[in-house]
A and B are shown apart, each in its own frame.
Chain A
């Protein structure tokens, strides 16, 4: 049997049973009249082989305790990471805030300057970062 003929004959039972129309084999128009007995034999041998393959390795049911343990471990790691990052952020923030407030108190002109800089530079940085993320 030619390759194209075989593909057509595989699709035939599916189509008869109202199978999906978008099968790749549907693009073939040439109906050479494959025999249904041939198809049934192919399906039967396929099923037999698949059953044999299944019997080689029994289906494993995942252990619930193992899964729960994995989940707990993952959650613990995520929590630890969050705590570490938050601590670092708060430390940086306290330092920066102290510096900024003392700067504003001693050099009041810096307050409007910082505000203007923040209003113009942060949206620009955000835009660039978003563009960079979009390109990835």
Chain B
């Protein structure tokens, strides 16, 4: 049960919400474009990039970009 002093999502100012949305959108568009270029499930990466930050980018770099550069 949340205590009275614990920060709530409602307490976030509008600027923070907009910043978060822009961050996620930027990440997902970048993932989508790069995965499309490499033919690696662009929609999946793009949609995952909308849900979390920065795990999708880290995983993408680890399992798509790194092996691609080794080739």
Residues on A facing B (Cβ under 8 Å): 82, 85-86, 89-90, 93-94, 96-98, 100-101, 104-105, 108, 111, 114-115, 118-119, 122-123, 125-126, 129
Contacts of A89 in B (CB 8 A): 29, 32, 42-43, 46
Q: With A111-B9, A119-B55 in contact, do A96 and B50 touch (Cβ < 8 Å)? A: yes
Assuming the contacts A108-B9, A111-B9, A115-B51, asked whether A97 and B24 have C-beta atoms less than 8 A apart, the reply is yes
**Interface SS, B side:** helix
Q: A96-B47, A96-B50 are in contact. Are A101 and B28 (CB under 8 A)?
A: no
Asked if A114 and B51 sit within 8 Å, CB to CB, the answer is yes
Contact A93 B9 (CB under 8 A): no
Chain A interface, >50% SS class: helix
Assess whether B51 is in contact with A101, with CB atoms less than 8 Å apart.
Answer: no
Residues of chain A lying within 8 A (CB to CB) of residue B61: none
Q: Can you list the 3 inter-chain pairs with the closest CB atoms, starting with the nearest? A: A118-B51, A122-B48, A108-B9
